[in-house]
Amino acid sequence: MKRILRILVWTIRIVVYGAFALVLVIALYLNIPSPIQEPSQDGIPEIFVTEEIDNPLFRYKWDTGHYPTTEQGLMALIQAPPGVKNWHGPYLTTMSPVDPWRNAYHYRYPGIHNPATYDVWSSGPDGQDGTVDDIGNW
């Protein structure tokens, strides 16, 4: 009886492992992305301009009383601009905020699209400012 039970357990294991291997082979053949692959970076610029930059800019404004000027740009979050009092940064840990296409993010204060605050945007995959693929916080 024990021998039959052992054979049955091993048979079930072989079937389960074989089915798993078959699913993997089919997934590789059909090029189905694995859940353990790195996530796509397509949404990173949108997340940066709509969420990630808000906190550092808010903290900068909280400390200094104003947002960085357009001329100071996002570098004001990394190193203190000349003449700015109460700067307690760096507010960003990266040396230069760049998008996945290795272009610098753009910053404007006051914003054209957000006149009460600021505009932050990426030029998108084409690297050209003012085109349809730009990704901004508006």
Measured distance CA(75)–CA(92) in Å, rounded: 9
CA distances from 68 to 20, 26, 84 (A): 55, 53, 9
Up-side HSE of residue 14: CA atoms within 13 Å toward CB?
Answer: 6
In this predicted model, what pLDDT tens digit does every residue of 25-58 receive, in sequence order?
A: 777 666 655 555 444 455 666 666 666 788 899 9
Measured distance CA(60)–CA(86) in Å, rounded: 9
In this predicted model, what pLDDT tens digit does every residue of 92-106 receive, in sequence order?
A: 876 667 888 888 889
CATH of 44-136, one of 1.20.120.160, 3.30.700.10, 3.30.1120.10, 3.40.1260.10: 3.30.700.10
Those residues with Cβ within 8 angstroms of residue 45's Cβ, 6 or more apart along the chain or in another chain = 99, 100, 105, 122, 124, 135
Tallying the residues shown for the chain, one arrives at 138
Q: What is the pTM of this model?
A: 0.62
The domain locations on the chain are 1-37, 44-136
133: pLDDT strictly greater than 90: no
